[in-house]
Structure 1
Amino acid sequence: MFRILSPAVAIALVLGGLSVQAATAQAPGPVPQVDLNASLENDPGKAVTGDKLFNDPPPAEGGWKGLARLLEALTPGVDTEIPLTASQITDRISQMLDQGRNEEALQVIQKRTAQLEQQGGIGTDVQLMFLHGRALAALGRHDQAIDLYRQMTTLYPELPEPWNNLAAEYVKQGKLDMARDALSMSLAANPNYGTAKANLGQVQLMLAQESFRNAARLGVGSARSKAEQTAEVLKK
């Protein structure tokens, strides 16, 4: 049985309205998370046995063949005689994304999603959903990635990684207030999540730079140099 998490009550984002100039988002953006295993495995209330997230039986023969052929074409050496487990499939998708094979990974994700729907599964494969967001972001389909990550934060607000990746997408669109709020939610889910802490610091610097620029335009003499100093910090 693939990983199922019960839907939680949606947590509303506090959406900021600050519009930032394109130059603000030119600094290296927040680091997106690429794996959910840490949160899912370290949550004793949602512990699972077996290989990482999944310990399900082989998929039905009819649904497996189409996915197997696709995986075999994209990843030579896949043994199509023995169906892969759910975790092996998601591991292969993650490897494709790590290698920059984003379009191929998206094809497998879509095929796997269709396969699970054909099997009549109940619930959501959270790892597959997260990988789908990664693939969309890597392909530059940022609005779709944001929609998917927002859906994840509604279904699984206890997971910090979707909040973090949502923030990274907001920064790409110059929505720094919204990125800050998403990172705050990530840290509310896990106060010890180092990636979100570092990303929040970076977003706060970007917000400070914008404030200094605005102050400089209003005639505050020292604000321009502070904006420049902040920009130098962001470049490091």
Structure 2
Amino acid sequence: MPRITPLLRSCCLVLAALGFAPLSHAAVLDDAQGLWAAGKRDQAIKMAEDALKTTPEDPRLRFALGTMLLEQQQLERARVLFTGLTEDFPDLADPYNNLAVIHAARGEYEAARQDLMRALDLQPDHAQAQENLGDVLMRLAQQAYERALKQALGDDTALKLKLQRVVAFNNAKGAQAR
């Protein structure tokens, strides 16, 4: 049996754990995830999209499709789905976390920080949101140091050293993720 990507599997488990009962399209969702795991990404997305035409309010299907689109770098389409989920199900942390990922990918770190803070308000032990917040805060710190460095007067050696540490940390973290 093909493996479902960890991100996709965790997304569906979270929604199931939050009390979303099995829906009539659960089999379609399973089939779409199977196609995804088998590398048939376009077919999986089409299957999820087609199923959503008949049940547009299905949160598990919407979330799974958004995650697929996010993994395919279709950021705007994924953003629309996750934004809709935050509007329709404002007590779910995961759509906020995924919106933050999209904002961060676009360099919109303050918007990402706000989404992550909302996710953590809803679910303080959300490990992925906590890790993502750390990454976003590092990027915001890097931007602040870079702005300060441009405006520094006099001896800016200490500031340069701090900036170098932030950049080195971000580079090392990026290398670990690969």
Fold similarity call, TM over 0.5: yes
Residue in structure 2 matched with residue 172 of structure 1 by the alignment: 105
1:157, distance to aligned residue in structure 2 (A): 1.3
The one-letter code of the counterpart of 1:232 is A
Residue in structure 2 matched with residue 36 of structure 1 by the alignment: 11
Q: How many residues align?
A: 163
Distance 1:95 1:167, change over 3 A: farther
1:206 to 139, 155, 162: 139
Distance 1:47 1:148, change over 3 A: closer
1:146 to 79, 83, 93: 79
Distance 1:180 1:97, change over 3 A: farther
In the TM superposition, 1:1-236 aligns within 5 A as 33-34=7-8, 35-43=10-18, 46=19, 48=21, 53-54=22-23, 56=24, 86-114=25-53, 116=54, 124-219=57-152, 220-234=156-170, 235-236=172-173
Distance 1:196 1:225, change over 3 A: same
Q: TM-score, normalised by structure 1?
A: 0.62
Query: Partners of 1:47 and 1:141 in 2: how far apart?
Result: 26
1:184, distance to aligned residue in structure 2 (A): 0.6
Tell me, what secondary structure is at the counterpart of 2:90?
coil
Larger Rg: 1
Structure 1: which 5+ runs fail to align? 1-31, 57-85, 118-122
1:41-93 deviation per Cα after TM superposition (whole angstroms, max 9, x unaligned): 333xx363xxxx33x4xxxxxxxxxxxxxxxxxxxxxxxxxxxxx22321232
The one-letter code of the counterpart of 2:116 is L
Q: TM-score, normalised by structure 2?
A: 0.80
Compare relative contact order (CA 8 Å, sep 6+) and give the higher one, 1 or 2.
1
Q: Percent identity?
A: 23
